[in-house]
Chain A
Amino acid sequence: MALINVANREIQCKIVYYGTGFCGKTTNLHYIYGHAPARAHGAMRSIATENERTLFFDFLPIDLGTVHGFRVQFALYTVPGQVLYERTRVAVLNGVDGVVFVADSSPEKLEENFQNLIELETNMRRMGKDLGSFPFVMQWNKRDLPNAVPVATLDRYLNRRHVPAFPACATTGEGVFATLRAICKAVMAVL
């Protein structure tokens, strides 16, 4: 739920990057942290295991500065992708204003992407939200893999709602900002 604080002249929104383990959610945030202008972001915080898998979430505050007298901020979160952390994903989704589904383009991950998407739909429904009428974009990550599943196939199996989808390679940054721009605008459109 976006917060519009008239007295402090601030607007705050929450965006969650969702997807399977190792699909590149944290890499998206790292790229944004490393390449967005320094004034446009705060410190990135990660709650990770010893081997750097996301245990709870990553958190990166984004600050657009002042627009028409209001300071506009987006809080970016990732969820832990591993199957056993479903409860944690539900906790992180709490109060979300926009979702990015990061799909791994490897052929062996197609089914896992699909299951993860169904889980996301279910979790959103439990919170009284329908992804069909909610700020939601998809990212086809790891397009640099030599055996990446064709975009048309990903689109057919995973993007039944025909929401905006962006080919990406989060390690090089390709598509990272395009995805971020799209979800921020989608959130603002329903504010």
Chain B
Amino acid sequence: MSGESDMEQLTNLVVAEGELTNIARTLGRLALDTNAGHTLLLDKSGQLISAQGSGPQRDLIALGALLAGAFSSSRQVAEILGERDFRAIYQQGAYESIYTLMIGEQWLLVVVFDKQTHVGLVKVLARKASEELERILQRVRQGSAQAREQVVSVQFRDSVSNTIDLLFQD
């Protein structure tokens, strides 16, 4: 629990270019090895960090939000049952299925795969990829504060503020 509180004190996560390449490589390999249409890395609020795979074009932003919602909901179910938590959920369809696995306390690895692939293989390889991703994400967390300074300046905030005023007028 203290680990989760520590995580929550972060107000943002900055993913630098090199680390995103590493994340994409791991997701790409997982997609290839499981023949998955999509492999996604989300943060638990539903934001998409990276997506790989050559499946049909889909609204991945909405998919990320809905999957993270379903996962959050399942954790509340776990609490009612007195389980510490559910670390994975499996959604089975006639043609495609989704396996979602929690990484640490902050991230979700999602594999969207079809009926040609056995779920057992997906579980094993997703677990392996999650260990690799956890190492990368730890580094991302540690480098976040420094990398943030390079992006978020006073001028940047002012420009965003002006854009907000411009777009959302009464």
Q: Are A177 and B9 in contact (CB under 8 A)?
A: no
Q: Are B147 and A91 in contact (CB under 8 A)?
A: no
Q: Which of A5, A42, A87 contacts B15 (CB 8 A)?
A: A5
A8 within 8 A of B: yes
Q: Give Cα A129 to B4, complex, Å.
A: 12
Q: Are B20 and A189 in contact (CB under 8 A)?
A: no
**Which interface class (under 10, 10 to 19, 20 to 34, 35 or more) fits B?**
35 or more
Q: Are B155 and A68 in contact (CB under 8 A)?
A: yes
Contacts of A77 in B (CB 8 A): 65
Contacts known (A8-B20, A61-B61, A96-B45); A67 close to B13, Cβ less than 8 A: no
Q: Give Cα A169 to B21, complex, Å.
A: 46
Contacts known (A68-B155, A75-B47, A128-B8); A188 close to B160, Cβ less than 8 A: yes
B95 within 8 A of A: no
Q: Give Cα A35 to B1, complex, Å.
A: 42
Q: Are B170 and A178 in contact (CB under 8 A)?
A: yes
Q: Are B8 and A12 in contact (CB under 8 A)?
A: no
A190 within 8 A of B: yes
A156 within 8 A of B: no
Residues in A64-120 with C-beta less than 8 Å from chain B: 64-65, 67-68, 70, 72, 75, 77, 87-88, 90-92, 94-97
Q: Are B152 and A4 in contact (CB under 8 A)?
A: yes
Which residue of B has the minimal Cβ distance to A68?
B156
B67 vs chain A, min Cβ distance (A): 12
Cβ proximity bits A164-191 to B, threshold 8 Å, 1 near / 0 not: 0000000001100110110011001111
Q: Are A88 and B76 in contact (CB under 8 A)?
A: yes
Q: Give Cα A48 to B12, complex, Å.
A: 30
Which residue of B has the minimal Cβ distance to A190?
B11
Contacts known (A45-B66, A61-B62, A87-B80); A72 close to B160, Cβ less than 8 A: yes
- 27 sampled A-B residue pairs with Cβ under 8 A: A1-B10, A1-B13, A1-B43, A4-B14, A4-B15, A5-B49, A8-B20, A12-B48, A32-B168, A45-B66, A64-B163, A64-B164, A68-B155, A68-B156, A75-B45, A75-B61, A87-B73, A91-B73, A95-B45, A128-B4, A177-B169, A181-B164, A184-B164, A185-B160, A188-B164, A191-B11, A191-B148
Q: Top 10 nearest A-B pairs by Cβ distance?
A: A95-B45, A91-B72, A7-B20, A128-B8, A2-B12, A87-B76, A7-B17, A128-B5, A4-B14, A177-B168
Chain A contact residues, CB within 8 Å of chain B = 1-8, 11-12, 14, 32, 36-37, 40, 42-43, 45, 47, 56-57, 59, 61, 64-65, 67-68, 70, 72, 75, 77, 87-88, 90-92, 94-97, 127-129, 173-174, 177-178, 180-181, 184-185, 188-191
